[in-house]
Structures are given as C-alpha cells and as structure tokens.
Amino acid sequence: MTCGQCMKLTLDWNCIIEVEENRPQANHVNELISFHRMGRFEVALLAASASENNKSKRFPGNASAFKDRVAALGWQDLPLVPMPGVFGLSYWDFCYCVEDGEEFERDRDAIWQTIAPSVPREPVDHLAEGQKVTDETIQSEELAKWRNIWCDVISAYSHIHEGRDVFVTNNTRDFQKNAGKLFKLGMKHISTPAMALATIEQIAKA
C-alpha cells in the first residue's frame, strides 16, 4: 500500500449517494474528504459519475446535475478523475480523447468480462430486434441497466488509467468480489469507505 501524500483515493458514485442519503458509511466518506483537505492524501471523484442514470433511469443529458449535487455536498474542491470520451455518454469538459482505440476497447472489455461476464457488452444486444443504437436510444430508460454496468466499467478503467491507488466503493458484488482479477488488470486496492478510512488513519499515525 502506498503511503503519505502520494496515496490517491477514488470515490465512486455510490459514495456520493451514501452521503446524500445519510447511509451508514456517510461519516466515513466525509472523514476521507477531511484527510484530503488536510493535504495528507488525495481524494477524487470520477467524471464517469456524471454519466450515471438519474432517478427517471435516463441519461442525465448534461453535466449540470452532477455539478449541482457535488456543490450541494460542498465538494467542489475535490479533483475529478477524467474519463475516456465516448460519443453520447460522456461530456467534453470531463473527458479526454482516446489515442489507441483498439487498446481502449481491449482494456474496457477485460474489465467488463470481469465484473459482468453474463451481460452483453454491446448496447444493441439490449434493444428490441431491429432497433438501432442512436444518441436517443443509448440515453433511454430502456438501456438503463446496460448504462449502470457501462459506468462501473468506465469508472474502473478511468481509475486504472490514471494510476490511482485505492478505489473506494460499497459495490462489493462487482468490485471487492472480483478484487483478485481486477488487480491483474491494474486496480491496486479496492476498499469500502470504512476500510479505506481505517487504512488512512493507520498511515496518518505512523
């Protein structure tokens, strides 16, 4: 485990929801951010979180809703882990152009195969026969479940691509359960907020 100021933690989307809804690990998430503000560690949010489904199970359509939710939590000072640009599913201010498309697809597919092997990767496979993938359909409620997995995969990819140390999530089914396989793909450590906080407190005392 990396120590001190060089340690970089990434909070996934459910960490935001944890605090918004005052769930059991909300205090742990807030404590992690407090350590960030003390300058001991870096805690960042994911640009991919801006592409998560809204309550109507549709694609948000713009990044304003994400920015507003972050602002409501007082987290505007947290850095953002950029995501690869994907037409119809990412926002220009939050993403970067992929230089090697084949490498990106290979790495993305390896993550998808690890956390959702039984779910087809192509959105067209989740549509009615004869229905085409367009900007409208890819953002529709019909593809809400596919987008949930896509966001998890892109979140993991973004974290790995940036060489970050700890992926913080309560999604134990997809991430902690597959930690060994994800480690081989470059995801160094996966922790719940409570586990990450315990590690940071131990390092801070050293």
Query: Which amino acid is present at 177?
Result: K
CA dist., res. 166 & res. 161, Å (int) = 13
Dihedral Cα 146, 152, 47, 62, nearest 10 deg: 20
Q: What is the pLDDT of residue 188?
A: 95
Q: What is the pLDDT of residue 3?
A: 47
Is 191 strand, coil or helix?
strand
Beta-bridge mates of residue 167? 10, 190
Residue 178 per-residue DSSP state: G
Q: What is the pLDDT of residue 5?
A: 55
Helix extents (H) in the chain: 13-20, 26-37, 64-72, 101-115, 135-138, 144-161, 179-184, 193-205
Q: What is the pLDDT of residue 187?
A: 97
Question: Per the structure block, which two tokens stand in for 204?
Answer: 């801070």
Q: What is the pLDDT of residue 152?
A: 97
Q: What is the pLDDT of residue 177?
A: 95
Q: What is the pLDDT of residue 148?
A: 94
CB 185 within 8 A of CB 157: no
Which residues of the chain register pLDDT less than 50?
A: 1-4
Residue in the block written with tokens 């201010």:
93
Question: Per the structure block, which two tokens stand in for 192?
Answer: 């719940």
Chain centroid to Cα 122, Å, comes to 20
Is 9 strand, coil or helix?
strand
Angle made by CA atoms 119, 122, 123, in degrees to the nearest 5: 95
Among candidate residues 171, 121, 168, 174, the one with its CA nearest the CA of residue 146? 121
